[in-house]
Structures are given as structure tokens and as C-alpha cells.
Amino acid sequence: MKNKEIISKLPYSKPFLFVDEIIKIDENGVEGTFTFDEKLDFYKGHFENHPVTPGVILTETMAQIGLVCLGIFLLDNNFNKNTSIALTSTNIEFMKPVFPNEKVTVFSEKVYFRFGKLKCKVSMKNEFGVVVCSGEIAGMIV
């Protein structure tokens, strides 16, 4: 399955699509990017005059790239309109802020995929290669 095809199968659309590109993907993990446009609504009022990307959005970005894109790849032809990947747990540590117009890269490594559950170690780096957040995310295929 090609990277653009995986992105087209994501159950999200703008402004809630947080995947610009899949750089690489295989059965063990995925690497992808997203740039946080300064015009995104959640920046309005989130730290007035000094906007910062909310942690829940950083978590969602890691989940979309690191869990859902990988799940679609792993399911390959078994992923269809009736298939979803539901988030079941997160454990994320935040180290640095992400500001408007920053491009981030998400790295995900599969911990396991069995009995319909996918668990991954994820990290997000800024353009300088500095880890801004990392942890684990898991989801169920439904």
C-alpha cells in the first residue's frame, strides 16, 4: 500500500487531519510529518499573545501518524469503510512546546499487534531534531 493511499484512508479531514506526509512505513513502524499552520482554530486563545499547540493535539498527531497510519498499513486490504481504529490508551510525556508554523516528525515503533490491539512507542521531534514529546499509544481495530 502506498503512503498517499494510506493517508487517503484516514477517517479524518481538515481541519482535524494531522498528517502531511508519510516518510517511511513498514511492519515495524512509521515515520511521518505535520506542520501546524498558525491559522488553526485551537491557537485562538490558547495562551493569549503567545500561542502553543495543546498537548491533546500533539497526542492526536502522534496517534494519527503513529497508530492509525500504521494500523491501516498492517491491515492492508482488510481495512475498509467499516473498519476503524479506536484509541484505547495513551501515556505521553511532554518536554518542549510546539509553536504555530512548526513542522514536527512523528516516529512510531510497533510494540505489538495482536487480537485486534495495536500498541506503539511514539516520539515527536521538532525541526531541530529535539524530542518534544514521547510515550506509548494503543488502539483497537473495530
Residue of 38, 32, 37, 9 whose CA lies nearest to 122: 32
Cis status, amide bond into 15, omega within 30 of 0: yes
What is the three-class DSSP state of 138?
strand
DSSP 83-97: --EEEEEEEEEE-S-
User: Cell numbers at residue 79, please?
Assistant: 481495512
Residue 50 among the catalytic residues: no
- Catalytic position from the list 46, 103, 119, 121: 46
Question: What is the C-alpha to C-alpha distance for residues 22 and 45, in angstroms, rounded to an integer?
Answer: 31
Max CA pair span of the chain: 47
* Cα-based angle 11, 133, 2 (whole degrees, multiple of 5): 35
Catalytic residues: 46
